Structure 1
Amino acid sequence: MKQRNTGWIALFLAPTCIIFLLIFAIPLVMVFATSLFDYRLLPRTFEFIGFSNFIKLFTQDAKFLPVLKNTVVWIAIHCVLHVALGTVLAFILYKKPHGWKFVRVTYMIPNIISQSAIAMIFLNLYNAQYGALNSLLKAIGLEHLQHNWLFDTATAFPAVTMTWFIFAGYTTTLVLAQCLSTDESIIEAAKIDGATSFQIDRLVMFPLVKRMIGTTVIMAATYMLQMFSMIYITTGGGPGVSTANLPLYLYTTVKANNYGYANSIGVVIIIVGFITMTLINRLFGMNKED
């Protein structure tokens, strides 16, 4: 009986495993392998150079370290401040204040709009000539603060950050769903024991939804590791590389016909992602058995 079950299990898993190998595992191995080559299409070049691409990235490429720093800082902001914003809103909404369903729906709307559309909205918002931000500053007598927000080195990074920072809809929705699914008798017992609303949130609800928050942190880190269109449309990574991240830098390297070097950047993205996921799993106890 066990042998027959094993055969059926293998049969049903085979299509998924084959697709995984063809679409993900084999290309992933190819990325690691080709990062060790000088790989170009025009002229056709495929020469083994070992770790020279990685040595060049960290010791000779003046752009790479600032780009890596931007990526890491954005991951930290997204995983800490962005998730915290969504979690706080979820903790407010789970108490079902007046209009909480309306807030839940409307707060999610920006997250279902494409990044390209959001980027175009903020391009108009920040526009130096007719943008709403500069118009507001002029209306309240702060003309001296008007400037080109996306193309000034001092403000480009925070300006791009604000294009996604305030839209924590996924975090709010997932944490709120976890809060609403909590047994109300636990909260009632805490109230009977004299716990305040803040104490219930900190000592009862937070431990119960901790792993869901950890899940949203993983989603946030993954999102920032693949952020591309928002940056590409708003600033193109400029001015200089003040708003460039690793995916955008990889894209510009591919456009320069340097595929081996681009794949070495891809390997760095994978390593950064692996380290980030490991830290998040340890922090939130995602690997522990209940």
Structure 2
Amino acid sequence: MTVAPVPGVAATGRQPSRSRRPGRPGRLRWLGTLLTTPAWLLLLGAVAVPLAVAGYASLTDESLSSVGPAEVVGAENFSREVLHGGFWHSLRVTVIIMAASLAVQIPIGYVLARALVRPLRGRAVFRTAITLPMMLTPVAVGLMWRFLSDPDLGLTRVAASAFGDSSPVNLLASQFGALALVVGVNSWINIPFVTLILLAGLLSVDEALLESAAVDGAGWWQVERYVRLPMIAPVLGVCCVLRAAADYRMFDLVYTVTRGGPGDATLNLSMLAYQQSMVNFEIGRACAIAVAMAVLALPAYWLFTKVTRP
């Protein structure tokens, strides 16, 4: 039995080649690139240009107290400030503040988020009230807590008087107390942010998975450890990276609460750059500190891209 040839089909049985046209995804990709180009140009001007200026200034002896033109000194500023200055002490202080803040904010934020997920009475009111610290500026919060921690007029004086002690603890005069105060104020203002981020992650968890785990005999801790936490791990990672990046460059709270003291106990990297630029008027050295901070922040950017990658 012979089969009649199909019109338009070659003797080999292959379909004739057709001219390919650009598909819709390709056109959307080019359209997206075109629409985001102005934003990229604005970002380039707002970030790359200041970094380039700071990089050049870090190689000079630019100073606000000098009248003559700045001269190129090469890596001298990096040698003085980064290698032989107080940079590594300020880096250690910065890491301590970052680690302690994350250790406080993430667990408390998770507990609050878990409480807000449950259908409790007044949950909407509590969700609104918990965001109030986020509405305040860090400078106002820092000044408020500095007044509250004053040994003569603050809460420590009231607490000491309530227990019959006439010598209240001066947190601002103690190295550990000053660090604890900075971490506490930083956590007080940022725990609502962590709570909202983790709440969004918890609301996206499929309830069917939780019910299946409970039916299989999993207890409360097993459900949290093996179901909820793995499901919100990407959200938790993004939250940790965002908070660590913010604490890494934190300046306003440290400046308003402790001024970097007592001594250099809370002198983080941002305060060190501020002292060199606005107190000592050494712009070149301050730019060297800023460039070193930017270089050390590159691994955090790489980690953020890994965590947020779909």
| TM over 0.5, shorter chain | yes
8 Å Cα contact 1:152/1:239 also seen in 2 = yes
Higher helix content, 1 or 2: 1
Q: Equivalent residues in 2 for 1:67-78 (5 A)?
A: 67-78=90-101
8 Å Cα contact 1:38/1:45 also seen in 2 = no
Deviation track 1:199-231 (CA, whole Å, cap 9, x = no partner) reads 211111101101101111111112112311211
Q: Equivalent residues in 2 for 1:142-181 (5 A)?
A: 142-144=165-167, 146-167=168-189, 168-181=191-204
Aligned residue number for residue 290 of structure 2: 266
8 Å Cα contact 2:273/2:289 also seen in 1 = yes
Aligned residue number for residue 54 of structure 1: 78
1:10 Cα deviation (Å)?
A: 5.0
Structure number with greater Rg is 2
Unaligned stretches of 5+ residues in structure 1:
none
* Equivalent AA in structure 2 for residue 35 of structure 1: S
1:199 aligns with 2:222: yes
CA distance in 1: counterparts of 2:138 and 2:293, whole angstroms: 21
CA distance in 1: counterparts of 2:75 and 2:165, whole angstroms: 53
1:157 Cα deviation (Å)?
A: 1.6
1:176 Cα deviation (Å)?
A: 0.8
Q: Secondary structure at the match of 1:48?
A: coil
Aligned residue number for residue 35 of structure 1: 58
CA distance in 1: counterparts of 2:271 and 2:211, whole angstroms: 50
Which of the residues 155, 162, 167 maps onto 1:139?
Answer: 162
Q: Secondary structure at the match of 2:70?
A: strand
CA distance in 2: counterparts of 1:252 and 1:230, whole angstroms: 15
* Equivalent AA in structure 2 for residue 57 of structure 1: E
Aligned length: 284
TM-score normalized by structure 1? 0.87
* Equivalent AA in structure 2 for residue 180 of structure 1: L
CA distance in 2: counterparts of 1:153 and 1:115, whole angstroms: 22
CA distance in 2: counterparts of 1:287 and 1:108, whole angstroms: 25
8 Å Cα contact 2:133/2:188 also seen in 1 = no
8 Å Cα contact 1:150/1:160 also seen in 2 = no
Further displaced range: 170-179 or 71-80: 71-80
CA distance in 1: counterparts of 2:253 and 2:30, whole angstroms: 47
Aligned residue number for residue 3 of structure 2: none
CA distance in 2: counterparts of 1:45 and 1:259, whole angstroms: 13
Further displaced range: 201-210 or 232-241: 232-241
* Equivalent AA in structure 2 for residue 163 of structure 1: V
Deviation track 1:108-148 (CA, whole Å, cap 9, x = no partner) reads 2112211111112212211111112221122123445x132
CA distance in 2: counterparts of 1:229 and 1:287, whole angstroms: 28
Which of the residues 105, 108, 119 maps onto 2:131?
Answer: 108
CA distance in 2: counterparts of 1:122 and 1:223, whole angstroms: 20
CA distance in 2: counterparts of 1:227 and 1:32, whole angstroms: 21
1:268 Cα deviation (Å)?
A: 2.1
Q: Secondary structure at the match of 1:37?
A: coil
Change (3 A) 1:276 1:11: closer
Which of the residues 226, 240, 253 maps onto 1:230?
Answer: 253
CA distance in 2: counterparts of 1:262 and 1:220, whole angstroms: 24
- Aligned residues: percent identity? 25
**Root-mean-square deviation (CA), in Å?**
2.5
* Equivalent AA in structure 2 for residue 134 of structure 1: R
Further displaced range: 182-191 or 29-38: 29-38
